[in-house]
Structure 1
Amino acid sequence: MEQHLSLLRQDEWRIIDHSSLGPHFDAKQSFAIDDTLCAFVGKGESSPVMRSWVHHNTIVLGIQDTRVPYLQDGVQFLKEQGYRVIVRNSGGLAVVLDEGVLNLSLILRESEKGIDINRGYDTMWELVRFMFKEYNVQIDAYEIVGSYCPGSYDLSIDGKKFAGISQRRLRNGIAVQIYICVNGSGAKRAEIIQGFYEKTLKKDETKFAYPEINPATMASLSELLQTELTVSEVMFNVLTTLKDLSGRIYAEGLREEEQEMYEKNFIRMKERNEKAFKDLL
């Protein structure tokens, strides 16, 4: 545990809070921002960063999700449910983002010895366990079969998944990203993704094994802890936890040179999305 703690125990954490920017904040911007921060943290020009972000009614697809046989039907279905659809630049499969889902990115510099991939995941798992230790619940990390975007670091309580972790490594920087379903219905979110796969696969055989979604495997923290949590309360938990574990925390937005790189990365994200969905336009 101590080696994982050491990654949380930084001299200082730079905090970038994008959790209350509202419905016009586009998820493509978030992935471009994290890539930008990876570059600057990776070359030692920024302290490690904790960035928080919330996006309203957005489905984020993985690259594999754009290779389904009937993508157009799935995108149409999601739009009819009131969701924007984007494809991200990192691994994983489709996830639901809405105003009850808090996303966190821990952006760290690759050390000389290297940070192996599991240690990156363990660091985020450790942070979440610290954040909710007062509830005296066991937060497990293993694949929850039947959940959307399943992976070996699905975070769950009593077998029900409330969060998923991914990683992106770029230019000596590492972005460990998590989505945490804070409130609302985990099962209803899962039903949306279940519908997407039903519309896009239509029981055709595919080389890639897409998950069979069982909505009962997913829940929000409010449901699991039987207490109504808000995103801002969880955000406060994040900040106090990092402050307790590190030397200091300070808030700072994108600097001028970071803003310039972000603009280029955002154009790349837009082009990636245009290419992914070009046949649907």
Structure 2
Amino acid sequence: MEEARRLLQHDRWRWIDQSALGPQFHALQSFATDDTLCESVGSGKSSAVARSWVHHDTIVLGIQDTKLPFLEEGIEFLEAQGYQYIVRNSGGLAVVLDEGVLNLSLILPERDQGIDINRGYDAMWFLIQQLFADFKMEIEAREIIGSYCPGSYDLSINGKKFAGISQRRLKKGVAVQIYLCVTGSGSKRAETIQQFYERSKQGMATKLVYPEVKPEVMASLSELLGQPLTVQDVQLRLLTYLNHSSEEILSGQLMPEEFEVFHRYYERIIERNEKFLNK
């Protein structure tokens, strides 16, 4: 994991905390923000960035989910449960975001040798291991069958998934993104996705493979560690780690020159969502 550690070593980090913006902070804004930061970091206009973000009652769909045969019925179910929904521009399938789910993005520059996809995943896995090292519990990275948005870098403890990682690469910047189910019930979140797929697929055979969600294989960190963690607790752990591994942390939001870039990416992702969801 020494290579993963090196990827996280930067003299300066920008820290952007968007975890408390409330229900009016739309998830599409988050993905446009990461694209903006990829461009800034990739061009050398910005140092590496760590960004935290929380969205209320939102289902983030993958592009593959938009090809479900009865997607309209699935979306009607989500709306009835009080969820917003979007289609993200990074990989993966449907996930649940709410006040107990902390998202972290690490925006890193592509160096001369590049950052291959596994190195990006390893860096985030290593970071999460460091943040919770005091609990002396093994955090594994392997696919958890029956979880929603399954992948080879599902993070789990004792076979129960609490986090998933995705990546977005743009203009020599790499955004490694993770959702961490910090508090609440992981299995209840999984039940929502399970019912979404049941209504969207209705037993029909599909060319694309969708997960057969088993709620019992998912949990929150609070459940797994036996401690009532909060989103703020995890952010404090992250800031402590960054303080120890860098010389300077600059806290703030987007720079003035980044706002124009943000609006361009925001309009682009809105257009993509309208296309995929036929709105």
Considering only aligned residues, what root-mean-square deviation do their CA atoms show, in Å? 0.7
For 2:247 and 2:117, how far apart are their aligned partners in 1?
Answer: 25
Q: How many residues align?
A: 279
Match of 2:5 in 1: 5
The equivalences for 1:35-46 within 5 A come to: 35-46=35-46
Match of 1:210 in 2: 210
TM-score, scaled relative to structure 2 = 0.99
Deviations 1:114-149 (A, max 9, x none): 111111000001110110011111000000000000
The residue type equivalent to 1:154 in the other structure is D
For 2:148 and 2:243, how far apart are their aligned partners in 1?
Answer: 32
Shift of 1:272: 1.1
Match of 1:90 in 2: 90
Does structure 2 retain, via aligned residues, the 8 Å contact 1:15–1:249? yes
The residue type equivalent to 2:7 in the other structure is L
Shift of 1:252: 2.3
Q: Is 1:71 aligned to residue 71 of structure 2?
A: yes
Match of 1:172 in 2: 172
* Structure 1: 5+ residue stretches without partners: none
Shift of 1:273: 1.2
For 1:4 and 1:228, how far apart are their aligned partners in 2?
Answer: 29
Q: Which SS does the other structure have where 1:163 is aligned?
A: strand
Task: State percent identity of aligned pairs.
Answer: 61
For 2:275 and 2:159, how far apart are their aligned partners in 1?
Answer: 38
Deviations 1:158-198 (A, max 9, x none): 00000000001110000000000000000000000000000
Deviations 1:56-111 (A, max 9, x none): 00000000000000010000000111100110111100000000000000000001
Q: Is 1:16 aligned to residue 16 of structure 2?
A: yes
Q: Which SS does the other structure have where 1:55 is aligned?
A: coil
Deviations 1:25-52 (A, max 9, x none): 0000000000000001001110000000
Q: Which SS does the other structure have where 1:4 is aligned?
A: helix
The equivalences for 1:1-281 within 5 A come to: 1-278=1-278, 281=279
Does structure 2 retain, via aligned residues, the 8 Å contact 1:9–1:247? no
Shift of 1:275: 1.3
Q: Which SS does the other structure have where 2:229 is aligned?
A: coil
The residue type equivalent to 1:61 in the other structure is L
Shift of 1:251: 0.5
* Structure 2: 5+ residue stretches without partners: none
